[in-house]
Amino acid sequence: PAVGSKRVSMDQLVDALVAEHRVAAEHESVARVRILGPVEVSAPGDVDPDRRELLTELACFLAIHPTGVHANRISAAVWPRGVEPEVRDTALAQLSTWLGTTSDGAPVLQQELGIWSFAPGAVDLDWTSFRDALNRASDDGARRETHLRAALDLVEGPAFDGIPSGRYGWLAATTLESDIAMAVNLTVLAAAEAAAVRDDEDAARAALAQGLRMSPASEELWRSRLRLESHVGSRDDLETAIGDMYAAIAEHGSPMGSAAETDALVDELLPGYRTRVA
């Protein structure tokens, strides 16, 4: 059984991600940066609680630029209204203290000719680990579904969920949030498809449910859920899923409501439903 209108290939998944130069890991990771859900930094050093929000934003900005960022660009991104170099450098020094050192004693946060970066491999970014898992799924067909699930296990919610008001303004100038949402949705579809192919409807439902918790108004995921219920569930299961879908779209989706493609699928799978509940 299929959960989508067409099979989701690993080539689609990998091609959907933004190409980015990757720095080879030279150190074991000693700190973690999480952006796939609520933003979080875990590091061995001390941090002033009053400075945590600022330093977390700094760490996130540096983590998504593995080849390094010039100090002037850091200033423009994190302090868009302007900042004295001394204030910026103090914040970077505090971040360095928080992140600590690599196993060989080198600072995790490094600076050379005004370019600030993390020691290669010293900071584990969940978005990087997500993409690594997709690469493994592409290379290891025998364990493809396992790697897809490993990627999804890293996702705890929408990217940058709950960031503080007035911070992370630099996100608006990137496509990172939409790139992550697209990659997660494609991974969910691929994992559900893989489970359905081996007739594990429960695993397929679980994958789609996880995706819908992260993107509750994703009509692509909902259409896959409806196709799955139509194939393996009862009429009541399908009707419940359709009702849940329209409720989610009303609460989280476009003010225009559901797409024509979604309504057409409902009419195909459960004729008369939309007329009956209108």
Q: What is the pLDDT of residues 81-135, one digit of tens each?
A: 999 999 999 999 999 999 999 989 999 999 999 999 999 999 999 999 999 999 9
User: pLDDT grade, residue 149 (50/70/90)?
Assistant: very high
Q: Of the given ranges (142-151, 174-183, 269-278), which has the lowest mean pLDDT?
A: 269-278
Q: Are 195 and 203 in contact (CB under 8 A)?
A: yes
Number of H helices, E strands in the chain: 12, 6
Asked if pLDDT for residue 169 goes beyond 60, the answer is: yes
- Average pLDDT over all residues of the chain: 90
| Separation between Cα atoms, residue 190 and residue 142, nearest integer Å | 14
Asked if pLDDT for residue 263 goes beyond 80, the answer is: yes
In the chain, the amino acid numbered 194 is: A
Cα 31 to the center of its chain, rounded Å: 19
242-267 burial, b at 16+ Cβ within 10 Å, e below that, comes to: beebbebbeeebeeeebeeebeebbe
| Separation between Cα atoms, residue 264 and residue 226, nearest integer Å | 12
Q: Are 8 and 223 in contact (CB under 8 A)?
A: no
Position 19 scores a pLDDT of 44
pLDDT (tens digit per residue) in 10-66: 555 555 554 444 555 566 899 999 999 999 999 999 999 999 999 999 999 999 999
Position 173 scores a pLDDT of 94
Q: Which residues pair with 93 in a beta bridge?
A: none
